[in-house]
Amino acid sequence: MLFTTSHSTKKCHNLLIDYALVGDIKDIKDIADRNRDSLGFIVRSAVSGSIEKKEVLIARYRKEVVGFLIFHQRRDSQVTIYDICVKLEFRRRQIGKRLIEELILESRRNHKSIIKLKCPDGLSANFFYEGIGFKLTGKEPGKKRRLNIWQIDIQKNEENKIMYNCFKLKEIIVPFTREGL
Ligand SMILES: CC(C)(COP(=O)(O)OP(=O)(O)OC[C@H]1O[C@@H](n2cnc3c(N)ncnc32)[C@H](O)[C@@H]1OP(=O)(O)O)[C@@H](O)C(=O)NCCC(=O)NCCS
């Protein structure tokens, strides 16, 4: 179960979550290209546009970019995740979770209430979303595979496990500025 602080859980120490900079595009594109089966083709100019709008978070381990999350803050209350990816050799170290947690904190600051995404059926990422508290709200046809629609309500503090843990996290990590645990 996510957010348990089991000592057996491998964690990535010295992890820094930050907004991506234009200079990070090559690293983001390299990771994305190696995961084309899951992510499809990610266009460099689109990544660049998202970076300019501060809609890309990256995870750095020491100086290496080890993961990224591309999102869009709509004008209404919704935030949409376009892509999330962690380098294969860094998976299952809670990095994806940390990226989502930072997105939730940022979205709450901007008074958003839900985060939504679509994930092709059959990808193991579906277990990730379920594990961190997203709810499956529907399915729709995709180009190649059916798409699962995942959603999390980020305003329901008392009932929402992920936010409860974000508050706890905030006490020990200042988002975007300090190194992690
Ligand atoms: C999805 C992805 C970003 C998850 O990143 P990650 O850093 O490995 O995930 P985390 O370590 O934060 O996982 C948190 C929890 O989610 C669940 N989880 C994550 N990956 C899982 C998997 N493959 N199978 C089952 N559960 C999984 C687990 O509960 C895990 O906690 P645990 O390791 O303590 O059991 C990563 O697998 C990835 O980059 N996949 C390829 C790209 C992709 O498919 N992107 C999504 C497109 S829709």
The pLDDT, as a whole number, for residue 130 is 97
The pLDDT, as a whole number, for residue 14 is 86
| Ligand 1 atom at shortest distance from the alpha carbon of 87 | 39
For the chain, give the mean pLDDT. Answer: 85
Assess whether pLDDT exceeds 90 at residue 85: yes
The pLDDT, as a whole number, for residue 155 is 86
Confidence of residue 71 (pLDDT cuts 50, 70, 90): very high
Query: What is the 121 CA–ligand 1 centroid distance (Å)?
Result: 15
Query: What is the 29 CA–ligand 1 centroid distance (Å)?
Result: 19
**pLDDT per residue as tens digits for the range 142-165:** 988 999 999 999 986 544 555 545
Burial profile 112-141: b = 16 or more Cβ within 10 angstroms, e = fewer: bebbebbbbeeeebbebbeebbbeeeeeee
Ligand 1, from 91, 104, 152: best to mutate by most atoms within 8 Å of Cβ?
91
Assess whether pLDDT exceeds 60 at residue 179: no
The pLDDT, as a whole number, for residue 10 is 63
Query: What is the 39 CA–ligand 1 centroid distance (Å)?
Result: 14
The pLDDT, as a whole number, for residue 157 is 55
Residues with Cβ within 8 Å of 89's Cβ and at least 6 positions away in sequence, in order, are none
- Residue ranges and CATH numbers for the domains of the chain are 15-172 (3.40.630.30)
CA-proximal residue: ligand 1, atom 8 (nearest): 91
Ligand 1 contacts (CB < 6 A) are: 2, 9, 35, 38-39, 84-86, 91-97, 119, 123-125, 127-128, 131-132
pLDDT, greater one: 3 or 109: 109
What is the mean predicted confidence (pLDDT) over 88-108? Answer: 96
